[in-house]
Amino acid sequence: MEETRRPPAVSTTGLSKHFKHHPALTNLNLTVPQGIIFALLGPNGSGKTTFLKLLLGQLRPSAGRGTCLGLDIVTQSHLIRQRTTYLGEELKLYSYMKVADFISFCQGLYPRWNTELVEHYRREFGLPLKRRIHALSFGMKTQLALLVSLAPEPDLLLLDEPLAGLDPLFRQRFFNTVLAETIARGKTVIIASHQLNEVERIADRAAFLYQGRLLHEASLAELKAANRSIRVVFLEEPPPSFWQTEGLNSVEQRNHTYLLHVNANFELIYRKCQEIPHSRLETLDNSLEEIFLLLLQKQERQESQSG
C-alpha cells in the first residue's frame, strides 16, 4: 500500500514583497518539508524576516502566492497563526508581571497548551516563578519567550534570530536538546539566522538568501557533498584546459599552493590533480559560511557576465 505523502509545511511560488521601490523579497520559490529543522540563512537585510512575516499574514505579498501548513497565507492567515508561533529579536513581554502570571496569561491565549512541557523547560531554563519580568536578565527574558513559544506545541515554530546575545552554552543546549525534542514530536522549525556556523550542526535543510533572492536551497548533506575544496601543491603548471573544467568554482593561489573550490565533478577534478605532478594533495570540507561565500561569488560572476 502506497504511503500518503505529507504536504509541505511551507510552499511558495514567485513570492515577492516590495516596499515602495525597494524589493525586500523577489520571486521566491521554496518548499519546506514537514518535520525538519529548516535554516533560512543570509546577512541582515536579505529578506529573512520579510519571508516569515509573509507566512504569518503580517505582510501581504506584492506578487506570487504561498501556503503554510496547507493554508493560504493571504486568505487563511488567522488559521495559520493558530498553529504557528513566532519568536523574533524584539521580545514582547509584560514586564510588570511575575513569571508565573505571564505563563498563566499566555496559556489562556492558546487552545492547546502543554503544562508538563512548560514545567520541564522552566526547570531546565532555571526560570524563577515569583520574580517579576523586569527584574530578569536579558537571557532569562529570552528563555521565557522561548518557553511560551514552545508551550502551545505549534505545528510550525518560526525563530527569527532568536538567541542573539545569549551565552554559547545555552545556545548549544537549546539547539541540541530543545529543537531535537520539538522535531521528535513531529513539528517543523524554521530558523532564520545570519550566524551560519551556529545552525550548521542542527539544520536538515538550508536556503541562502541574498538581497531578497534565493541563491540556493538543499539538504545539508547535499550542500556539503557538492561544495568541497582541494588543496594541492603543483610541481609544474597545470595545462590551460585544467582551469576550464566544469565544476571548478574558484581558485585561490599562494606561490605553488592552490585552493580549488569545487561545486560539481569533484571526483573528476581530483583525478586530474592526481595526474599533474604534485607534492601535496588533500580534500577539505567547507563550512556553511564558506559555501555561502562561494555561492555569492558564483552569483556575482554570472551577473557580471550577463550584464
List, for residues 69-88, the tens digit of each pLDDT value. 999 999 999 999 999 999 88
Pairing between strand 63-68 and 10-19?
A: antiparallel
Place of cell 560539481: 264
List, for residues 238-266, the tens digit of each pLDDT value. 999 999 999 898 899 988 899 999 988 89
> Helix/strand/coil (H, E, C) string of 98-130?
EHHHHHHHHHCCCCCCCHHHHHHHHHHHCCCCC
Using left for φ > 0, alpha for ψ between -120 and 50, and beta otherwise, residue 173 falls in alpha
Orientation angle between helical segments 138-150 and 99-107, nearest 10 degrees: 30
Residue-range domains of the chain with CATH: 10-219 (3.40.50.300), 223-306 (3.30.70)
List, for residues 189-209, the tens digit of each pLDDT value. 999 988 777 788 889 999 999
Q: Of all residues in the chain, what percent carry a pLDDT higher than 90?
A: 60
CA distances from 218 to 42, 48, 61, 110, 277 (A): 15, 17, 24, 34, 36
Q: Is the pLDDT of residue 237 over 70?
A: yes
Q: Of all residues in the chain, what percent carry a pLDDT higher than 70?
A: 97
Give the Cβ contact number of residue 164 at 10 Å.
14
pLDDT at 227: 85
CA-to-CA distance for 253 and 200, rounded, in angstroms? Answer: 28
Amino acid (one-letter) located at 135: A
pLDDT at 307: 58
pLDDT at 286: 87
With b for 16 or more beta-carbon neighbours within 10 A and e for fewer, the 29-64 pattern comes to: ebebbbbbbbbbbbeeebbbbbbbbbbbbebebeeb
List, for residues 135-165, the tens digit of each pLDDT value. 999 889 988 999 999 999 999 999 998 777 6
SS3 68: strand
CA-to-CA distance for 282 and 305, rounded, in angstroms? Answer: 32
What is the average per-residue pLDDT within 100-112? 92
Output the nine-digit C-alpha cell for 34: 514537514
HSE-CB for 187 with a 13 A CA cutoff: 22
Please classify residue 226 by burial: count the beta carbons closer than 10 Å to its beta carbon, then call 0-12 exposed, 13-18 middle and 19+ buried: middle
Residue 198 or residue 68, greater confidence: 68
Residue 124: φ, ψ to 5°:
-60, -40
Q: Is the pLDDT of residue 210 over 60?
A: yes
Q: Is the pLDDT of residue 1 over 50?
A: no
Q: Is the pLDDT of residue 300 over 80?
A: no
Residue 214's contacts (CB-CB under 8 Å, 6 or more residues apart) are 28, 29, 30, 207, 208
Q: How confident is the model at residue 92 (pLDDT cuts 50, 70, 90)?
A: confident
The secondary structure of 197-220 as a DSSP string is HHHTTT-SEEEEEETTEEEEEEEH
Amino acid (one-letter) located at 91: L
Q: Is the pLDDT of residue 2 over 60?
A: no
pLDDT at 235: 93
